[in-house]
Structure 1
Amino acid sequence: MRVSVQPDRFDPAAEMAGFGTGPTTGAVVTFTGIVRDDTGRMQALEIEHYPGMTEAVIADYARAAAERFGLSDVLVIHRHGRLAIGEPIMMVATAARHRQAAFEAAEYLMDWLKSRAPFWKKEVGADGESWVAAKDSDEDALGRW
């Protein structure tokens, strides 16, 4: 298991080198989130967090996913700081004996990260800055777990 909260850009392909290579792994699922601009006015996204606490919370989610879905490996990377549109913002990878467990574990982690990880996001544009509000749909997604 590896959890990283970092300001630096990462290469998803490089992160997968050696991931999930155990003898019982039959499926690996990856998800990489990219900074997007839904408004046409955003120039960057700024992400803040509490160092130490954020990593601990994410590690708890990753351990819970590993136990619940019988994972052989878990990777969670999430960036902070100022990110440009089109840059990778986060990555989740799960490895399991079967594909269903790997897919469900990745979705589980994404739902928990989206609604419970202690990050604060601010959209920065030419016309000012605004904090990103929590979405009801993200909260609703937790109901299935």
Structure 2
Amino acid sequence: MIEPLRVLQTKPQLTAVIPIAVPREDIRKVMGPGLTELKAAVAAQNVVVTGPWFTHHVRNPGEIFDFEICLPVATLVAPVNRVKPGQRPAMNIVQTTYHGGYEGLGGAWEEFIGMIRAAGHRTVDGLYEAYAVGPEASADPKAWRTVLSKELVEV
């Protein structure tokens, strides 16, 4: 299930990121280890995490997923191994929240994109997926919440 569309303006947010490009079928192999590496690097630098982790897909996913695993942070991180400093820019976005397990994200995105089109919005290539509530907070996938966002085309 997804919530109704929301349109909002975001503020810039410092991030720590690991860029990754992998075939679609390898996403599950790289996500967990990448997130573990990112969290360890941020913790080793005593940098405060300011919100849920998220992914930023540089372009809409196809056969290759070109994306970044991201943590919002209070201060700049120093580059170490694959970890790099980044910043999510201020932007106008359209957003919803998906309720359910990760296996339903593909269908949630299809429904979300349909709602965006029906509302007459135009979006930039790429997307954001923030994991607000997941397996670390509840063993019940029905309690999980993933925030789906697309940047709006400026008119």
* TM value normalised by structure 2: 0.29
Structure having the larger proportion of residues in helix? 1
